[in-house]
Every structure is written in structure tokens, then in C-alpha cells.
């Protein structure tokens, strides 16, 4: 492995060479395009639902633009130089259409980008940095969820959003839940195939830990389930990212038990209110709490009495009642000073709303909505902490957070421990288990009217990441795949070497990267499903 710093500068250099030329490149092969459409026509001529009613090209310009844009979560990717130019966008109505898109695209050397909820932090579900033409397969019509309360399982289509999943499950029973992310608009396709974590992860692990079956279209255009794909590929699509292996149509998941009443709280402390000492202390106690207790911290800039300072929000859910929570807190974390009036008892689904950040006034019924938020501009990175940071190290973070560029920045510290300590690293591709105290998500947002200065904010988050280097995991410096970050490395479109891909591969997957590369070689040897951070096919490890 290269050292992170060296790696970093090489990657930046590489990205800066790669970006301007390839995004703007339009080496559209007319023949491939015509061939693709003809192939679709031929393959769909016997079916009633015409694929051409859900196929958009730049020629149907307003539909093309609105279909493309409405699935883009991060506004950063709606402006130059990030202008996405898929040849075609298709919103399939049935699985046969998905199969024909795959086989026709493969035959005509057209790449595929599959879009679930469109939350990819680098826009890779609808954008390509490569010159090869591509089609976006947007799964917005695949949103059905069927819950089997007897089996405690559900089949969930890949275009469904987490909020809809939670809502549908809770309608069946207040005692069923699912351990996945906090943001209700995140899509099942990307989230579950890339891991998926949230407030229940200390108790139940990752969303992908609870996948028990799947339906996937592979590179040959066949629909496979767990049995027909085999355990290697089934392993890979539970954390290795779906887009390297095929198009996930649906997942079967196990539901988990949640009590009828849970308790939530948020306690804010600024630097003047002992935030440094509290965060420092939290680092070693939060991963050891009872696994029914999850307390994360959100670090933000704030103003207090006209002065810029830093706030740590202790944001928590306890899978039980308030009186018991207060007893636990009095014993394990009295320094936070949690009071009875800070605690709110509610149903689990109401807690999902509490953590959702939906606009105030929203109700549980808003959880399934696809576009409840005003869209913003952002960039994210991630880290894992294995040794507590010193107070001095924390003070250095605060310094960066007091800058104007950090006006809307956040650092989210999510405690690990609990069951995360017990699940073996190689159980699924997601490897970040025993030994991690907590995960950090670095996030910087900016306002649209500052967009011409996007680079300013991106520079800030890179500076923060550089600052964090000595304090976080190393060899490899671990990152969470679902918090995608192209600064870590980018594949060449053709013939990426294993060494090149390992720059980011080991950070996301540790040694599971070897098995992922072997599975890829077995199921997609020609590397049809490829993108900037797809698993490269390598057999011999």
C-alpha cells in the first residue's frame, strides 16, 4: 500500500487530468446507439408495455431533462463541469425490459448506470467520467414492498426508499423494524447493496447483514436468485455494491424486533458548555453502552451570543422507556446531564421521523415521500477511529469548524461496538467491525448562491481529511463504501490494474477486496458492469 498522503496527491493529479476531458467527451458511436435501439425494439416487440414509452433521449428533450434531473439528489452534479449526458434514460416497467436493456447494451458496447434513489455522493448512478456512451436505468417504477408478518421477512424492490420501507413495515406491526440508514429518501438499490447503517446498527448490524435472498439481472441478461447465483455472488451484493455485479431488482430481508416504545433525545453542548470534554469522554464510552442505546454526535458551527463557536449535538435513540434510559445515563454518562424533559417516548416509526431531518411539521405519513427536501450541494468523506482522539486533536477540528467555509459543515460520529464487534469481517464485504470505536462522516454543504465557489468547500473538506490523518485508522485508512469518495481513487475505464484499484478497494473493503475481485472475475469476466469504483475482475489470489 502507498501511504495515504502520497496516494492522495496522485489521485488528485489523476482526477484533474481525468475530469475535464472525459465528462465533456461525446464520443457517441452512432452505430452502437442505433444498434441498441433496434435491439430493444426487436427484443420487446412481443410484449404489451412498450419500452419506448419509458425511454428518453435528448431528442425528447424536456422529458429527458426532467427525468434525469428529478433523480439527482446532489445539486453539485447539475452544473458544469458535471453535466451528465446519458445517451438514453430508461425507467423500466417490468423485469423483462431490464433484461433487454442489459443484453442490448452489452451487445452494442454501451455502458449502464443503474439508479435507485440517486443518492450516490459522487453521482455515479447517473454520471460517467468515461468517454464510452452510457444509458441510465432508473428504477423509480420498482417500489413495491411485500411484508410477510408470519416469516418476519419482506421482499423490497430496488427503487423503493428507506422511508417507504420503514413506513410499510410499521403499518404491519409496531414491533417490526429494519436496521438501515436515517435519510428516508435513500434508495434500497444503492444502500443495501453497499452496506447500510443507522441507529439500530449497534443492536442489529448493517442492513446488508439482514438480506436473505435477491433477484438480480446479471451481465448475460438473466434473472438470478440466491440459489441460481450461488453464495459467492450473493455474498458480493451484500456490501460490495450492486453496480459491479448486475442490476438488483429486489432484495428479501429479515425484519428485526423493536419495542413498542422507544426514547429519543438531543442534547446540544457548545465549546463553552464543555463540548470538548464530553466528546472526548463519549469516544470510549459510547461504543461500550448497552446495545439498546445509540448516541451519535453531530459537530457543527454555531453562534452563541454573537460569537462563532462549535456545537456537539448528542443525538440518541434508546430501545426502551425513558425512566430506564435515565438510570443508564446517570450511571454511564452523568457528565452529559441528561434530564427527564430532554427525553421523548414514541413508537419506533416516529423515531425514524425524528432522525429523518424532514422539514418541521412533517408526520410519519411523509416518510415515504420521494422528494421532501429542498436539494442542496455537498461533498462527503469518511473515516474510522480505533484510538480515541486527544483533546488537543479535537481542538484542531474545532479550529477548522470555526472557518466561514464550514458554515454548513457537519461531522457525524456514529458509535460502533455492540453486535458490530461480533460479526466477522469477512461475513459480508462490509468489513468495518471489531476494534472500531466509531465512524466519522465528514460532510460539507454549501448554498446554491455560493456555487461558483464550490471548490472552496471541497478544499475545506480535503483539508479536514488531511488534518485527521494521524488520528484515524491506517494501513489501510478505512472508508465506508456508501460514503463514496472519488478522491480515494478512480479506475481507468479499460484495463485497470489491481494495484490501481487497490488504492480505494482496501480502504472500503479491507481484505474482502480480494474475494470481491475473484467473484467479479467469475460472474462478469469481461467487466461489462464497470464504473469509476467498480470491482475489477481478478482471478488469481
Ligand X SMILES: Cc1cc2nc3c(=O)[nH]c(=O)nc-3n(C[C@H](O)[C@H](O)[C@H](O)COP(=O)(O)OP(=O)(O)OC[C@H]3O[C@@H](n4cnc5c(N)ncnc54)[C@H](O)[C@@H]3O)c2cc1C
C-alpha cell read off for 468: 485527521
**How many amino acids of this chain bind ligand NAG (CB under 6 A)?**
28
CB 351 within 8 A of CB 262: yes
Residues 374-433 that bind ligand NAG (CB under 6 A): 404-405
Which parts of 268-297 interact with ligand NAG (CB under 6 A)? 268, 273-274
Specify the residue, 204 or 538, whose C-beta has the smaller distance to ligand NAG.
538
Using CB distances below 5 to 8 A depending on partner kind, what does residue 115 bind out of ligand NAG, ligand X, none?
ligand X
State which of positions 449-488 bind ligand NAG (CB under 6 A): 449-450, 453, 456
For the CB of residue 11, give the shortest distance to ligand NAG in the complex, in Å. Answer: 17
Q: Is 530 in the site for ligand NAG (CB under 6 A)?
A: no
Residue 56 in contact with ligand NAG, rule: CB under 6 A: yes
Residue with cell 448528542: 314
Give the residue among 331, 336, 343 at the shortest CA–CA distance from 273.
336
- Nine cell digits for residue 81: 463541469
Are 328 and 289 in contact, with CB atoms under 8 Å apart?
yes
CB-wise, 139 or 319, nearer to ligand X?
A: 139
Binding-site partner at residue 139 among ligand X, ligand NAG, none, CB < 5 to 8 Å by type = ligand X
- Which residues neighbour 383 within 8 Å (Cβ) at sequence distance 6 or greater? 439, 440, 442, 465, 468, 472, 473, 477, 478, 479
- Which of the ranges 47-55, 201-209, 433-441, 519-527 carries the binding residues for ligand NAG, by CB under 6 A? 47-55
353 binds, among ligand X, ligand NAG, none (CB under 5 to 8 A by kind): none
CB of 319 to ligand NAG, least distance (A): 20
Each residue 299-338 as x (binds ligand NAG by CB under 6 A) or -, in order, gives -x-x--------x-x-----------------------x-
Q: What are phi and psi of 90, to 5 degrees?
A: -125, 135
- Taking CB within 5 to 8 Å according to partner kind, which of ligand X, ligand NAG, none is near residue 199? none
1 with 476: CB under 8 angstroms? Answer: yes
With binding defined as CB under 6 A, does residue 35 bind ligand NAG?
no
Is 40 or 186 the residue whose CB approaches ligand X more closely?
186
Q: Which residues contact 308 (CB under 8 A, 6 or more apart)?
A: 301, 302, 402
DSSP 365: G
Q: What is the dihedral of CA 349, 355, 359, 361, to 10 degrees?
A: 50
State how far the Cα of 463 lies from the Cα of 477, in Å rounded to an integer. Answer: 16
| Rounded least distance, CB 95 to ligand NAG, Å | 12
Under 8 Å between Cβ of 212 and 145 = no
Cα 327-318-330 angle, rounded to 5 deg: 20
The side-by-side arrangement of strands in the sheet containing 111-115 is 55-56, 88-90, 134-138, 111-115
- What distance in Å separates the CA atoms of residue 33 and residue 27, rounded to the nearest whole number? 11
- Per the CB < 8 A criterion, the answer to whether 219 and 246 are in contact is yes
Cis (ω within 30 of 0) for the bond into 105? Answer: no
Shortest distance, position 60 Cβ to ligand NAG, whole Å: 4
Residues 319 and 261 sit within 8 Å (Cβ to Cβ): no
CB of 112 to ligand X, least distance (A): 8
Q: Does residue 266 touch ligand NAG according to CB under 6 A?
A: yes
Question: Binds 497, which of ligand X, ligand NAG, none (CB < 5 to 8 A, cut-off by type)?
Answer: ligand NAG
User: What would the DSSP string read from start to end of 184-240?
Assistant: TT-BHHHHHHT----TTHHHH--GGGGEEEEEEE-TTS-EE-HHHHHHHHHHHTTTS
- Which residue ranges make up the site for ligand X (CB under 6 A)? 73, 113-121, 124-125, 139, 158, 181-183, 186-187, 189-191, 193-198, 241-243, 247-248, 482
Residue 300 interacts with which of ligand X, ligand NAG, none, CB < 5 to 8 Å by class? ligand NAG
Q: Which is nearer to ligand X, 4 or 71 (CB)?
A: 71
Looking at 59-67, 169-177, 205-213, 475-483, which segment touches ligand NAG (CB under 6 A)?
59-67
Site string for ligand NAG, 203-222 (x = CB under 6 A): --------------------
CA–CA distance, 339 with 510 (Å, rounded to integer):
42
Q: Does 362 bind ligand NAG (CB under 6 A)?
A: no
Partner interacting with residue 198 (select from ligand NAG, ligand X, none; CB below 5-8 Å by kind): ligand X
Q: Among the candidate windows 157-165, 205-213, 266-274, 420-428, which touches ligand NAG by CB under 6 A?
A: 266-274
Q: Which does residue 453 touch among ligand X, ligand NAG, none (CB within 5 to 8 A, set by kind)? A: ligand NAG
**Contacting positions for ligand NAG (CB under 6 A):** 47-48, 52-53, 55-57, 59-60, 63, 266, 268, 273-274, 300, 302, 311, 313, 337, 404-405, 447, 449-450, 453, 456, 495, 497
Amino acid at each position: 500500500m502507498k501511504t495515504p498522503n502520497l496516494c492522495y496527491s496522485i489521485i488528485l493529479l489523476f482526477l484533474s487530468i481525468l475530469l475535464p476531458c472525459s465528462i465533456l467527451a461525446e464520443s457517441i458511436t452512432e452505430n452502437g446507439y442505433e444498434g441498441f435501439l433496434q435491439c430493444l425494439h426487436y427484443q420487446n416487440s412481443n410484449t404489451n408495455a412498450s419500452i419506448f414509452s419509458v425511454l428518453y433521449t435528448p431528442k425528447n428533450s424536456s422529458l429527458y431533462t426532467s427525468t434525469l434531473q428529478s433523480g439527482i439528489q446532489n445539486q453539485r452534479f447539475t452544473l458544469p463541469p458535471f453535466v451528465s449526458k446519458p445517451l438514453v434514460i430508461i425507467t423500466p416497467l417490468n423485469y423483462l425490459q431490464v433484461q433487454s436493456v442489459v443484453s442490448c447494451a452489452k451487445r452494442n458496447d454501451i455502458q449502464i448506470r443503474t439508479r435507485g434513489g440517486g443518492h450516490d455522493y459522487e453521482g455515479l448512478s447517473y454520471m460517467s467520467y468515461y468517454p464510452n456512451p452510457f444509458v441510465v436505468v432508473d428504477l423509480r417504477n420498482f417500489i413495491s414492498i411485500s411484508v410477510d408478518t408470519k416469516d418476519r421477512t419482506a421482499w423490497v424492490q430496488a427503487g423503493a426508499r428507506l422511508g417507504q420501507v420503514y413506513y410499510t413495515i410499521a403499518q404491519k406491526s409496531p414491533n417490526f423494524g429494519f436496521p438501515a440508514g436515517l435519510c428516508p429518501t435513500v434508495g434500497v438499490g444503492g444502500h443495501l447493496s453497499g452496506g447500510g447503517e443507522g441507529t439500530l446498527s449497534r443492536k442489529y448490524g448493517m442492513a446488508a447483514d439482514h438480506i436473505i435472498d435477491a433477484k438480480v439481472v446479471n451481465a448475460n441478461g438473466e434473472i438470478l436468485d440466491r440459489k441460481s447465483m450461488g453464495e459467492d455472488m450473493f455474498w458480493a451484493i451484500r456490501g460490495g455494491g450492486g453496480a459491479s455485479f448486475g442490476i438488483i431488482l429486489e432484495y428479501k430481508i429479515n425484519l428485526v424486533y423493536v419495542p413498542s416504545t422507544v426514547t429519543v433525545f438531543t442534547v446540544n453542548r457548545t465549546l463553552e458548555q464543555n463540548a470538548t470534554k464530553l466528546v472526548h469522554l463519549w469516544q470510549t464510552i459510547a461504543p461500550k453502552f448497552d446495545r439498546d442505546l445509540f448516541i451519535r454526535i453531530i459537530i457543527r458551527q454555531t453562534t452563541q451570543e454573537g460569537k462563532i463557536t462549535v456545537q456537539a449535538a448528542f443525538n440518541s435513540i434508546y430501545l426502551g422507556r425513558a425512566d430506564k434510559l435515565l438510570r443508564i445515563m446517570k450511571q454511564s454518562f452523568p457528565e452529559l446531564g441528561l434530564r427527564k424533559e430532554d427525553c421523548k417516548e414514541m413508537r419506533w416509526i416516529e423515531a425514524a421521523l425524528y432522525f429523518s431531518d424532514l422539514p418541521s411539521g412533517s408526520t410519519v405519513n411523509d416518510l415515504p415521500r420521494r422528494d421532501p427536501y429542498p436539494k442542496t450541494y455537498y461533498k462527503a468523506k469518511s473515516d474510522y477511529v480505533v484510538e480515541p482522539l486527544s483533546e488537543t486533536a479535537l481542538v484542531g477540528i474545532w479550529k477548522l469548524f470555526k472557518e466561514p467555509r464550514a458554515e454548513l459543515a457537519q461531522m457525524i460520529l456514529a458509535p460502533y461496538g455492540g453486535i458490530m464487534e461480533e460479526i466477522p469481517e469477512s461475513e459480508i464485504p462490509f468489513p468495518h467491525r471489531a476494534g472500531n470505536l466509531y465512524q466519522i462522516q465528514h460532510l460539507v454543504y454549501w448554498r446554491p448562491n455560493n456555487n461558483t465557489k464550490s471548490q472552496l468547500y471541497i478544499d475545506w473538506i480535503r483539508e479536514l481529511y488531511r488534518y485527521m490523518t494521524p488520528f484515524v485508522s491506517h494501513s489501510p485508512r478505512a472508508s465506508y463504501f456508501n460514503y463514496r469518495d472519488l478522491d480515494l481513487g478512480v479506475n481507468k475505464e479499460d484495463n485497470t490494474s489491481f494495484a490501481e484499484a487497490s488504492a480505494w478497494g482496501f480502504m472500503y473493503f479491507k481484505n474482502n477486496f480480494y474475494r470481491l475481485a475473484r467473484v467479479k472475475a467469475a460472474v462478469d469476466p469481461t467487466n461489462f458492469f464497470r464504473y469509476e469504483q467498480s470491482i475489477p475482475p481478478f482471478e488469481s489470489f
